[in-house]
Structures are given as structure tokens and as C-alpha cells.
Structure 1
Amino acid sequence: MKLHIVGGGSIGLLIAASAAERGDDVTIHVRREEQAEALTLRGVTLIDERKNETYSVKATTSFHSNDDALFVIALTGPALFHMKDLLKRYIGDRPVLFIQNGVRHVDWARQSFPNAHFASVEHGAVRTADTIVEHRGHGQVMTVPSEHESFKRLFERHQTSRLAIRCVNDRTIDAILWRKAVINCAINPLTALLRIKNGELLTNRSAYDLMEKVYTEIITSIPNLKPIVQWDDIVNVCQRTATNESSMLKDVVAGRVTEADFIVLPILKRGAERNETMPTLQTCYTLLCAVDERGMM
């Protein structure tokens, strides 16, 4: 199966290595020429507690292929919107799977790509070099069934692979994405602002109380989210990814714009539509905006 993965970060490399491990023909689209050359020359190395293996992949900084591949967009929200016109021209009506955090991209993707599908990635991964990814925190990729042959084949091939793609029939894709958004809202902003790893949200009493307060504000303001994400779900993610730094923390440390507008803002807006406020989450969002502005100076 041919896969084109757009994005050479932690999740992009994890998916590329997992797909190559299953024998898929993988091409990774990256921004920097040096990463493309390194991946093409050395392959992608996947490290976890059981193995350290390298898999052959192709990599490029260009968008010229006309093959019938399935595309996986493994970009952050800001990077996705920076490239949205290019992606729309290049991918066209070919099948494309979006795995971004948050929900801000969903309406645009549905309008722009006739064969768009969505998934929520619940794995923990860290890119330690341009060609090396560590799989920290084994989870699953949640999505819903599709009638498109390419998606059906992808989901069938990777139900039992490292990716553990799980198609659920009792939820909509919107419910799955909102569930992930709530989990991200409870974890990522606090780890970024406090500069702590995910597991410290459980061991630091004040941080734990703040995380619980954010969750309570969300489900109180938007009650229909409570059935799809429980407090235990958030605790379990923190436990499973205890040694990980959230993507938002990595962005802050690197001076990059965070995904606050893609993860936090849609939750705040949905509450505002019900005339509800979330003061703790709003404060986190305002602080992240200030950090983003400082990082761009």
C-alpha cells in the first residue's frame, strides 16, 4: 500500500515507521532538505522498550507525485493552515487522513477535500533526531469506518499493527475528535505553562487541582461532552504518557507558535455559544497567547 505522510515530526515518523514495518510503500514529505536526505539515506529508526529497528522510506521536500497513494497529514494545526493552499492543489480528490489535534481544521478539510477522513491519535512519541522516533506510550488510533477502499484497506492492515487503528461504530468522528480536544485542553496548556511532563500533573497537587478544574469547567459548560470523555480518561493519558512532554510544551520551549487556537479556542467558543464561561481555561489560553506573541518577537 502506498502512503504519503506529510510531516516529519514525532507522529509523522511514528506512522511512517509503523507503516514501513508492515511493508507499506512510504514517502514522507518534510520541510527541510537535510531531513529528506537523511531519511532517504538512512531510513527511519523506531525505538521502544522491546526493539530498535530501522525501516527504509523515501522522503522529499517537493509535491510532484501523481500516484494513487493515500495521504496522512501529520502536521500541527499552524503548519497545516500555512500549507493549506498547497495541499489542496496537490492532493485534489485523492484520499487524505487528517490526524491533527483539536477541531478547528475539520470544516475546512471537509470543504476542501472530497475524500477527507479524520482520526484521533492516542500514542505518545518523541522525535529525538531527524530520522529517529521513540514510541513512548502505546495507545490507539481512533476513527470511524469508511466506504472508501483506500481507507478500508489502511484500517484493516493496521488494526493489529503498532498503530492499533480502531474503528468505532457507536460514535461519530466529531465525538471522537471532541473527546481528544477535551483531553488535550486539560493536559497540554498546563504542561506548557508550568513546563512539566505529563505525569507531573498527577504528582504535583496544585497542578492536579488545576487540571481537574479545567475538566470540570468544560463539562459543566458543555454538558454533552461529559458522556464521551470521563475524568479517568484524562488521568489514564497522563499515566500512559507520564515521561512525555506535550507537543504544546515542546512548542513553547522551541519558541514556536502553540496550537492554542486549534485546541483551546474551539472549546472556549463552544462554551460561549451557550453563554458559559470557563475562567481557568480562558486564563490558560490568554497566557499561551502571550507566550506565543513573545516567541514571535
Structure 2
Amino acid sequence: MNIVVIGGGAVGLLVSKLLEDQGHQVTVLIRTPKQPPVLYQSPVGTVELMGGFVSQDWSIVDSADIVVVATKAYHLSDVLPRLVTRKGPIIFLQNGLIKHSVQQVLDSAYVLYGSVDHGVGIEEDMLLHTGDGTIRVGGSSIHQEQVEKLAPVIYWEEDIELILLRKAVLNTLINPVTALLDVANGELRTNKSIQQAVIGHYDELIQAFSELEAALTLDDVFELIKRTATNSSSMRRDIQAKRQTEAEYILRPLLQMAEGRKRYLPITNYLYNLILSKGSEPHTKLS
């Protein structure tokens, strides 16, 4: 299939690499000229040259069989207007809950949402695939057959809303604390005081989102922390680099959803405001 991946960051490049390995024709669409990593390191440590084709020609999105948007959530305001004329499936692979932002611009008949569980990062000229995982996508069912052709890289998921909520809660439990304390993920499990804070935060979120009670246990949370113990969360890396974080797309939507259910999330709200206090983004008052 002819696939365009929008975004030359770690997730976009990994998706491109995995799809190319399955024989798909992939072009990575970037905003500004830059040299992508030339090496790829697999989860087992083997290293190989990166392939792929990079372009800045946005006209190619209309003719692609599938478009995958792998930018940061806060870059969607630049990307969405460029996709208005597209009449074909568009897969969004952002951290957080972005549905409201996307629906304001695009026809929902063409929109799909996905969750990426791979561990991936970029160091200098190497794409580091730190942990093997899955990519699950769902949404407009008229595109299910096309998405299924992307297996084993991307799988169709019937209940993508639950999967996305689950990931947003996991990110909320891990990212803000690691960013504010400037620690790797594993510290949330090995430091007993922080561990107790995570447990209290988990209880708060599960009470508000009871549909996750079976889908996300406390054991699941600490198993993920264990598997990603040496990883630095994306929010921590953003703050270290003085970049905008994705708090507006991860924490804030959960606060709004809870408010709609007449639930209050004091721990989540506290962490949200502390992240905003870092000065990398303007404060957005909750309605």
C-alpha cells in the first residue's frame, strides 16, 4: 500500500520503518528540512541502516491509500487544515485524547484513532526501538478492511475508545510525576513514597472512570513501569528540552470528562497545574 506518515519524530519514523519492512511504500512527510536518523536499533540490540523516503510535498496526502499522523498533539492545529481535502482514511497516533480537536475540522467518516505501545526514542543519528509493542487502531468501520492489511504492524481494535482512555490514564499516572521529579519511570516503583503516591492517584482515576476497573489494574500499572523502568517519559523529555508538553491533551481532557460525570480529580488537577507552572505553555482555565 502507498502510505504517507506525517511527522518525522520517533513514533513516525518507527511506524514508517515497521511498515516498510512489511513491503509497503512509505513516505515520511516533514515540515522543515532535517536529517533523519540513519541507524535503527531493534529491541534486541541489533543495528541496521534506516531506509525510507522523506518529503515536504503535502500534495501527496490526497493520493495516499492511508495517511498516518504521528506528530505531537499540539502540532495538530497546523496539520488538520492540510487534511481537509483528503477523501480517505487518516490514522491519528497521538498521546492523549484528541477526538474533540479533530472532529472540529475533519469529516469523521475518514478518521481513525490509534494507540502505540512501543518504546521508541531518538539519540543523535539513531532511532532506538527500546521496547516491542503493538499499535491498535479503530474508528470509522468502513476502513476496517484497509487497516487490517497493515497487520502485523497495525491491528484493528473494535473498542478503541476504551484503549485510548486506558492509555491516557496510564500516561497521567506516569508522565507528570516523572517530569516534575526528573526521574526515570522505574523510580515510581522502587521509591516507596512515590509508589504510594501512584497508588493514591490510581484510586482517584479509577473511581472516576470505573469502566477501566477490569481493563487497567494496579498490577498493570506497575508492570508497565517495570517494563519501562529505564525510560524517560515524553513529558519529562519535553520539560528538559523546554518544549511544550502534551498536558493539554492528556490530563486536561480527563479533568473535563470527570467534571462531566460530577467527579473531582484533585491529584490530577494539582499535577496538571504544576506541569503548566513550568512555563512551557499557557494555562487554560477549565470550564
Structure 1 and Structure 2 fold alike (TM over 0.5): yes
Match of 1:87 among 79, 83, 87: 83
Which structure 2 residues correspond to residues 133-144 of structure 1 after superposition, within 5 A? 133-144=127-138
1:228 deviates by 2.6
Displacement of 1:48 in angstroms is 2.9
Q: Residue 5 of structure 2 aligns with which residue? A: 5
The structure richer in helix per residue is 1
Task: Measure the CA separation in 2 of the matches of 1:293 and 1:168.
Answer: 34
Point out where structure 1 has 5 or more consecutive residues left out of the alignment: none
| Matching residue of 2:219 | 232
Find the counterpart in structure 2 of residue 125 from structure 1: 120
Q: Unpaired segments of 5 or more residues in structure 2?
A: none
Matched residues in 1 for 2:87 and 2:233: separation? 33
Amino acid at match of 1:140: T
**Most deviating of 137-146 and 283-292:** 137-146
| Selected match of 1:109 from 77, 92, 102 | 102
Q: Does the 8 A contact of 1:26 with 1:57 survive in 2? A: yes
Give 1:58's match in structure 2, choosing from 39, 53, 56: 53
Are 1:96 and 2:85 an aligned pair?
A: no
Relative to the length of structure 1, the TM-score reads 0.86
2:144 is the alignment partner of 1:155: no
Match for residue 24 of structure 1? 24
Q: 2:189 aligns with which of 202, 207, 213?
A: 202
Identity %, equivalent residues: 29
Report the AA paired with residue 33 of structure 1.
P
Matched, 1:167 2:156: yes
Distance 1:168 1:64 in 2: 30
Q: After the TM superposition, which of the residue ranges 78-87 and 8-17 deviates more from structure 2? A: 78-87
Structure 1 pair 82/212, CA: closer, same or farther in 2 (3 Å)? farther
Q: Are the equivalent residues in 1 in contact too, given 2:43–2:132 (CA < 8 A)?
A: no
* One-letter identity of the residue aligned with 2:132: H
**Distance (Å, rounded) in 1 between the aligned partners of 2:44 and 2:214:** 34
- Measured at CA, do residues 261 and 147 of structure 1 come closer, stay the same or move farther in structure 2, by a change above 3 Å? closer
> 1:255·1:295 contact (CA, 8 Å) conserved in 2?
no
Q: Superposition RMSD on alpha carbons, in Å?
A: 2.3
- 2:279 is paired with a residue whose SS is helix
Counterpart contact for 1:257–1:295, Cα < 8 Å:
no
Please say if residues 46 and 53 of structure 1, whose CA atoms lie closer than 8 Å, have aligned partners that are also in contact: yes
Secondary structure at the aligned position of 1:288 is classed as helix
Give the alignment partner of residue 70 of structure 1, picking from 66, 73, 77: 66
Q: 1:145 to 1:73 in 2, by over 3 A?
A: closer
Cα distance in 1 for partners of 2:156, 2:65 equals 21
Residue 24 of structure 1, CA deviation: 1.4
Q: CA deviation at 1:154?
A: 4.1
Per-residue CA deviations over 1:88-146 (Å, capped at 9, x if unaligned) read 34xx222111111111x2134345133111111111101113x5311112221123486
Letter in 2 for 1:269: Q
Return the alpha-carbon distance in structure 1 between the equivalents of residues 43 and 79 of structure 2: 32
